[in-house]
Amino acid sequence: MSGTCFIFGFHAVTSRLRQNPNSIKEIFIEATRTDQRTQELIKLAESNKIHVISCNGSKLANMSGNDRHQGIVANIDSVLNYVSIDDILDALTEPARLLVLDGIQDPHNLGACLRVADAFGVHAVIAPKDRAVGLTPTVYKVASGAADTVPFISVTNLARTMKLLKEHGVWIYGTAEDAEHDLTDFKISGAVAWVFGSEEKGLRRLTRESCDQLVRIPMQGNIESLNVAVSAGICLFETHRQQS
């Protein structure tokens, strides 16, 4: 059985057209959009035999749940994106690089994390199904195409999933302000998963206990913590730097 959701914004829809056009059922474009950028997108859709429908802005806002749709919304089949952790790990010819998000609820933060993951070669982003945001239209918009280039895997039991990663030889680093070691203390090698907690509470107890090692990001200013996407970017950059 197929599932349906909407994505919106030029970057998100154009990326989906180029990465996975078969998942697009139809595209809705605001009737007042006649600029060259829109015409190029329409040509790309038509070349992939995707039906383009002209409509008003209020209809787009209703479908996307957002008035910042940039005049374009796509109706996509969400099931076609499904991939499992085993699928990812079995296909790799290099050490795994994963991002685990424990209870991120802000769609803007998830979208930004997907962009960071794409930038630093992450093979998949993993998150729990419950008490966490999924791939909403806003996430697709903020991710600017990264939601189509980085697999997003929702899991029922995060602790069990982390145990599975360990069985595959993945070393799991959790991030916490009170960690004994900071990011500059040790060498990052082999298959790695970085785990980040929610915006409000950080890592949950069981998630924290499931990590192989806890790490803190050294900071010199007066602010006690960083945005989760910024933290992920710092840790993933250091991983990329050491492993390149």
Q: What is the pLDDT of residues 15-27, one digit of tens each?
A: 889 878 988 999 9
Q: Is 217 annotated as a binding residue?
A: yes
- Asked if residue 78 has pLDDT above 70, the reply is no
Angle (CA) 19 142 101, round 5°: 90
| SS percent in the chain: helix, strand, coil, step 5 | 40, 25, 35
What confidence score (pLDDT) does residue 162 get? 97
Neighbouring C-beta atoms of residue 155, cutoff 10 Å: 18
**pLDDT value for 81:** 56
If you average pLDDT over residues 120-146, what whole number do you get?
A: 93
Does residue 133 contact residue 105 with C-beta atoms inside 8 Å? Answer: yes
| Tokens linked to 4 | 């349906």
pLDDT-based confidence at residue 148 (cuts at 50, 70, 90): confident
Task: Collapse the DSSP code of 56 into the 3-class scheme (helix H, G, I; strand E, B; otherwise coil) and give the result.
Answer: coil
Q: What is the CA radius of gyration of the chain?
A: 19
- Cβ atoms of residues 85 and 77 within 8 Å: no
| Helix (H) and strand (E) counts in the chain | 10, 11
Whether the CB-CB separation of 66 and 139 falls below 8 Å is answered with: no
The residue-averaged pLDDT of 142-162 equals 92
* Beta bridge mates, 153: 126
pLDDT of residue 17: 92
Q: Is the pLDDT of residue 79 over 80?
A: no
Tens of pLDDT, residue by residue over 40-50, are: 999 999 999 99
C-alpha to C-alpha distance for 178 and 136, rounded to whole angstroms: 32
Six token digits for residue 82: 């499904």
Q: Return the percentage of the chain with pLDDT > 90, whole number.
A: 67
List, for residues 181-231, the tens digit of each pLDDT value: 899 888 999 999 999 998 778 899 999 999 999 999 988 766 667 899 999
pLDDT at 65: 84
- Distance separating alpha carbons of residues 37 and 130, to the nearest angstrom: 38
Domains of the chain: 4-81 (3.30.1330.30), 85-243 (3.40.1280.10)
Higher pLDDT among residues 125 and 63, named by residue = 125
pLDDT tens-digit readout, 80-105: 556 789 889 988 999 999 999 999 99
Is the predicted pLDDT of residue 64 greater than 70, yes or no?
yes
Query: Which residue type sits at 93?
Result: T
pLDDT of residue 1: 40
Report d(CA 32, CA 28) in Å as an integer: 12
Of the listed ranges 4-13, 205-214, 232-241, the least confidently predicted one is 4-13
pLDDT of residue 146: 92
